[in-house]
Amino acid sequence: MSQRGVRAQQREQTRRALLRESRQLFAAQGYGAVGLAQIVEAAGVTKGALYHHFDSKADLFGAVLEEVQREVGRRVAAAAEAHADRWDQLTAGCREFLAVTAEPDIQRIMLVDGPAVLGWSAWRALDEASSAQHLGDALAALVAEGTLPPQPVEPLTHLLSGAMNEAALWLASPSGPADPAETWAALERLLRALRHTG
């Protein structure tokens, strides 16, 4: 490997270490409690190396959040793709979304600190590019095949996405339900009601 290739590989390893260690710290302590000194110490790099890759702590957090959003999107898509029937794909994907976002590290980074650190508009853009995109595609396919009544898909996607984000936050909160199965049952009834054409 050339010297340039070695340097590129080292830069990528440094970036991966920063993302990995900062994700663990942000998940455990929350964005506000984590300092850059902690991150560089955990990653075994200098502050200069951090600033070579990221402009600020917020920029680093944004990269971590993008990674988390992609991971959630992949897991939701994998759960959906395990089924042949489009309706089963939708319900499996929704169930997986609630399960994944109830995991404390994902919930804290994606649903608690994400909107607070990046701002609502930037956070929504990331959400729309991952989980909400999968949801919108699933709903569009169900409308196209006639399982759902003809309707604009975008408003429905936003409404369901918002409901599931709120449900995930509620499930993870101290005041959340004692039995998470009740939340899934309520969401499943809501989804089934969409199929009713009267």
| pLDDT tens by residue, 16-37 | 999 999 999 999 999 999 999 9
Distance CA 174, CA 186 (A): 19
pLDDT reported for residue 196:
63
Domain span at 122: 56-194
Distance CA 65, CA 109 (A): 6
Pair (144, 180) in one structural domain: yes
pLDDT reported for residue 1:
66
Q: Distance from CA of residue 170 to its chain's centroid?
A: 16
pLDDT at 4 over 80: no
Domain count, the chain: 2
pLDDT reported for residue 26:
98
Number of neighbouring beta carbons within 10 Å of residue 183? 18
Pair (42, 73) in one structural domain: no
pLDDT reported for residue 33:
97
Pair (37, 78) in one structural domain: no
* Least trusted range by pLDDT, from 110-114, 132-136, 151-155: 132-136
Q: What mean pLDDT do residues 98-109 have?
A: 90
- Name every residue whose Cβ is closer than 8 Å to that of residue 89 and which is 6 or more positions away in sequence: 80, 81, 83, 138
pLDDT reported for residue 194:
92
pLDDT reported for residue 5:
73
Pair (29, 114) in one structural domain: no
Pair (29, 72) in one structural domain: no
**pLDDT, tens only, 55-65:** 999 999 999 99
Residue-averaged pLDDT of the chain: 90
Distance CA 53, CA 68 (A): 18
pLDDT reported for residue 124:
84
**pLDDT, tens only, 124-143:** 888 888 778 889 999 999 99
pLDDT reported for residue 27:
96
Q: Taking each helix axis as running N to C, give the angle between helix 131-145 and helix 120-129, from 0 to 180 degrees, rounded to the nearest 10.
A: 50
Question: What CATH number does residue 41 fall under?
Answer: 1.10.10.60
